[in-house]
Amino acid sequence: MTTLATRVRTETATVGNPWITLAAIAGGQFLAVLSTTVISVALPTMTRDLHAGATAAEWIVNAYVLVFASLLMLGGGLGDRYGRKGMFLSGLVIFAVGALIAGIAPSIPILLAGRVIQGIGPALLVPSSLAIIRNTFADEKQRATAIGLWSTSSGLALAIGPVVGGVIVNGPGWRWVLLINVPLAALFCVVATIAVPRVPRTPARDRFDWQGAALTITAVASLAFGLIEAQHYGWTSGWILGAFALAAAALAGFAGWERRHGDPLVDITLFRHPSFVVANVAGMVAFFSFVGLVVYLSAYFQQLQGHSPIRAGFDVCAIGIAFACAAPISGRLVGRFGARPPMVAGLTLGGLAVLGLLTLQRDTGLGSIWWLLALGGFGIGLCLTPMTATAVAAVEHHYAGMASSVHNAMRQLGQVLGVAVLGALAYSGPALGISGLHHAFLVAGCSLLVMAVVALVALRGDDSPARTPS
C-alpha cells in the first residue's frame, strides 16, 4: 500500500514551475481579499440605483465578510480531507458565480444573495492556498519568500481596494466592481488547473467532523454579527449580548467536542504550542490595526478634508505601496534569520507609526504624514510573513489546511474587530472627529506594540531560520 510519505514525495516531484503556481494562488487570494474593500466606494451609487437604504448598504459589505469568516474552518477541513487543489478551484468557481449574480442583480435581495454565494468562495480557496504553497515549495527559504508574496497579495488588496473601486465606478460603472471578478477568476482557474499540483489529503480516521463545523460556523458567525451590528443596536442591547453569548457557548461546545472526536476539524492540541498561539493572535492584531488604518484614514480624507473617493484612495496609497515592498523582503528575512526578528520589528514599526498619527489635525496635509503611512504599511507588511510561516510550520504537512484556516479566520476576525471597535472610537461623537480618530489610533498603535513585546518574549526560542516540516 502506498504510504502518505510516498505520495507526498511523488506528488511534490510533479510540480512544474512553482512561481506560476504561486501566481495563480496569490491571484485567487488577491481577488478574495479585494472584494472586502473594493465595493465600499461603489455603495452610494449602488444603493441609489437599486433604491436601497443605509442598512442594505452595510449588508452589501457585511454579507460577504460574515460568510467568508464563518466558513473558513469548514473550508480548511474540507481541503485537508477531500483535496486542496479541488477545493481551491471550487472556491474560485463559486466566487465567480456569486460575483456574476451580484453584478447583474436587478434588486437588493438578489444582490445580497450573490454576495453570500461570493463569500463561500474564499472560505474554500483561502485555507487551501497556503497548504498548496507549502507543498509546492520544498526549500525553506523559497517557501518563506512565497508566503511573503502571498501575504503581499492580501495586504495590497485591502490597501488599493478603494482606489480600484473609485476608478471602476467612475468608468464602466458600479456593476463592474463585481463583474470584473468573473474573467479574472476564470483566468486564475485555468492557470491553477494547469500549474497547481495535487496536494496530499489527510488520511481519514473517522467521518468528517460536521458537528464541529456547525459549532465553529455558529461561533464565528455570532461573534462577527455582534461586532458588525454593535454600532447599530448598541453594545449592551439584547441582540448584541445574545450574539456574544451564543458565540461563547458555541466556542465552548466546539472545544469540548473536538477533544472527543477521532478526526477533529481543528486539533485543539495545536493551541498548546506558544508559537502557534502567538502567530495567530499577532495576525489578528495586525489586521485589526491595518484595516482600521486604511478605512478610517480614507474616511478622514473624505469626510474631514472633502476629498473625492478616488483622491482619498490615492491619499492612503503609501500604506499599500510600502506594504507591498515589505512583504517579500520579510520572506527573505524569515528564511535567513527566523520568524521572531522581522515579526517583532514589523509590529514595533507599525505601532510607532500609528501612534505618530496622534499628531493628526483636521487640516493636516498629506505631505506631513505620508511617511508615517508608509512606515505603518511597511511595518505591518514586515510582520505578516513570519506570522503566517510560524502558524503553518506548527503542524505536520497534512494538517496545513487546518492551520491555514485557523490563521486566516483570526485575520478575518481582526478585520471585523478593526472596523467595529476602531469605528466605534472614531465615530464616538455624532460624526467622525479628530478626537475619535486619536482614540482609535491610540488603541491600534498600543495593540501593535503590546503584541511586539509578547512575540519578543514568547518566541525566544525561534531565533534560527524556519524549520518547517515537509
pLDDT score of 11: 39
Give tens-digit pLDDT for 236-253: 888 899 999 999 999 888
Q: Find the range with the poorest average confidence among 174-183, 211-220, 343-352.
A: 211-220
Angle at 114 between CA 111 and CA 117, to 5 degrees: 155
pLDDT score of 394: 64
Q: Give the torsion through C-alpha atoms of 39, 96, 288, 330, to 10 deg.
A: -120
pLDDT score of 10: 37
Angle at 390 between CA 389 and CA 396, to 5 degrees: 90
pLDDT score of 7: 38
Rounded mean pLDDT, 338-347: 90
pLDDT score of 6: 39
Give tens-digit pLDDT for 66-88: 888 888 878 877 887 778 888 99
Rounded mean pLDDT, 132-139: 79
pLDDT score of 37: 77
Q: How confident is the model at residue 299 (pLDDT cuts 50, 70, 90)?
A: confident
C-alpha 443/C-alpha 428 separation (Å) is 14
Residue 248, CA atoms < 13 Å, CB-side half-sphere = 6
Burial class (CB in 10 A: 0-12, 13-18, 19+), 367: exposed
For the cut 70, the answer to whether the pLDDT of residue 399 exceeds it is no
Q: Which candidate, 1, 11, 166, places its Cα nearest to that of 83?
A: 11
Give tens-digit pLDDT for 104-134: 999 999 999 999 999 999 989 888 887 788 7
Q: Which candidate, 396, 408, 414, 327, places its Cα nearest to that of 125?
A: 408
Rounded mean pLDDT, 435-453: 94
pLDDT score of 183: 94
Q: How far is CA 290 from CA 187, 301, 421, 447, 470, in A?
A: 29, 17, 13, 11, 32
C-alpha 292/C-alpha 312 separation (Å) is 15
| Helix segments in 394-427, DSSP class H | 400-417, 423-426
Higher pLDDT, 197 or 387: 387
Read off φ and ψ for residue 232, nearest 5 degrees. -80, -50
pLDDT score of 467: 40
For the cut 70, the answer to whether the pLDDT of residue 135 exceeds it is yes
Class of domain 12-209+261-458: mainly alpha
Q: Which candidate, 461, 458, 465, places its Cα nearest to that of 339?
A: 465
Q: Find the range with the poorest average confidence among 6-15, 33-42, 172-181.
A: 6-15
Task: Say which DSSP state 41 is in.
Answer: G
pLDDT score of 73: 79
pLDDT score of 319: 85
Read off φ and ψ for residue 28, nearest 5 degrees. -65, -40
pLDDT score of 101: 96
> Cell numbers at residue 385, please?
510573513
Rounded mean pLDDT, 303-328: 81
Q: How confident is the model at residue 14 (pLDDT cuts 50, 70, 90)?
A: very low
Q: What is the mean pLDDT of the chain?
A: 81
Please say whether the dihedral angle defined by the alpha carbons of residues 12, 90, 281 and 214, taken in this order, is positive or negative.
negative
> Cell numbers at residue 4, please?
502518505
pLDDT score of 5: 39
For the cut 70, the answer to whether the pLDDT of residue 395 exceeds it is no
Q: How far is CA 296 from CA 64, 79, 113, 402, in A?
A: 20, 35, 28, 32
Burial class (CB in 10 A: 0-12, 13-18, 19+), 272: exposed
> Cell numbers at residue 356, please?
505618530
C-alpha 393/C-alpha 404 separation (Å) is 10
Rounded mean pLDDT, 409-416: 81
pLDDT score of 461: 56
C-alpha 38/C-alpha 384 separation (Å) is 21
pLDDT score of 397: 63
pLDDT score of 204: 56
- Contact, 53 vs 321, CB < 8 A? no
Q: How many CB atoms lie within 10 A of CB 111?
A: 24
- Contact, 318 vs 333, CB < 8 A? no
C-alpha 397/C-alpha 400 separation (Å) is 5
pLDDT score of 329: 84
pLDDT score of 464: 41
pLDDT score of 182: 95
pTM of the model: 0.77
pLDDT score of 190: 92
pLDDT score of 330: 83
